[in-house]
Amino acid sequence: MRSSKLYFTALTLILSLNLVFAQKPSVLEGKVIVIDPGHGGTAATDSYRQGPTGEREEWIDLRVGLILKDLLEAKGAKVLMTRTSDVFVPLDARSKLAVDNKADFFVSIHHNATADSSVNFPIIYYHGLASSNKAGLNFSKELAKNLVKYMYKTKVPVSIVSDFTVFSSAGSSVLRGTYGIPGVLAEASLFTNPEEESRLKQKEHNYNEAFAFAVAIEDFFTGSIPLIQPKISSDFPTPFATLQEAERMSPIAKRWYQDYLDAKELMKSKNKENLQKAFDLFTQSAKSFPDSYVAGECHKYRAEILNKLGKIDEALQEEKRVREFYPN
């Protein structure tokens, strides 16, 4: 009986929110929006892409994407999906769909994983440089605000970063392939957090996430959209290699925050040896969780230490990395 009441309450909330969203005057009429539910068809190869009880990321991505499709179509948008079932779709085919259909917006929906199961917060990536891709950066900020409001409903740290923080040589394939079209790749939460994995199985939680995306997209199109500038390779900082997906589930990666705290403590010393130790710990933290909300702080402190050690050119590269890749 109790479960029936909870279901009815959740359904009533969803229908009420949907009605409110649909009644608002829309700027989305006729907009071509491509929704890319991340991954798909990879259960046999990506064993790490699942939560503590086996809920897989690609299932969550698709559920949220399909709800978002309905919300945007209710506003008059033309929505194209890169996939509508749990199948593998090549990365270049996802980008091509948006480019070939002259999309007005592209959003890739993901959920993240890390060795530290205690953490849960949104990570939103724009492609390239903050100074060149202000459209992606502006939407990232709008989406972050709405994910906190509708999905988390409480204060949480938010990470807005360039996709070059995790793919240091070229950024994310789907964002690289659609560069010029406003868009982001968003990891709305971490399914490796047990409580969050449980919530991600629930229709209401999936709806709240999709609703946050929908509100952010409509708000984005309500304002003026900055022109996305061409990428100039000389404007980019030197690449900073990081741990990749499976490696970020390691015991070393689990220490990401403790390494950051230990390094900050060592920074209090003026001893050159301790400064080098702090530098190494900041480096390890940034490598372990390069898109975390403290990774930008790690790079900022790395720049400070490099300046103290007289390595001015390297310090300038770090300062550029913070400015262009970690704007918040």
179 has a pLDDT exceeding 80: yes
* pTM check: above 0.85: yes
- Read off the tokens for 119: 């953490």
* pLDDT tens digits for range 229-286: 999 999 999 999 999 878 889 999 999 999 999 999 999 988 999 999 999 999 999 9
CB of 261 closer than 8 Å to CB of 116:
no
Reference 295, options 192, 124, 159, 130; nearest CA is: 159
Answer yes or no: are the C-beta atoms of 102 and 49 closer than 8 Å. Answer: no
- The phi, psi pair for 111, rounded to 5°, reads -140, 145
Residue 2 predicted with pLDDT over 70: no
- For residues 150-165, one letter each, b for 16 or more C-beta atoms within 10 angstroms of the residue's C-beta and e for the rest, the string is bbbeeebebbbbbbbb
Reading the block at residue 269, the tokens are 């010393």
Residue that the structure tokens 């991600």 belong to: 200
> What value does the mean pLDDT take over residues 206-234?
97
Distance of alpha carbon 52 from the chain centroid = 21
Name the 3-class secondary structure at 179. coil
* Burial of 54: CB neighbours in 10 Å, binned 0-12, 13-18, 19+: exposed
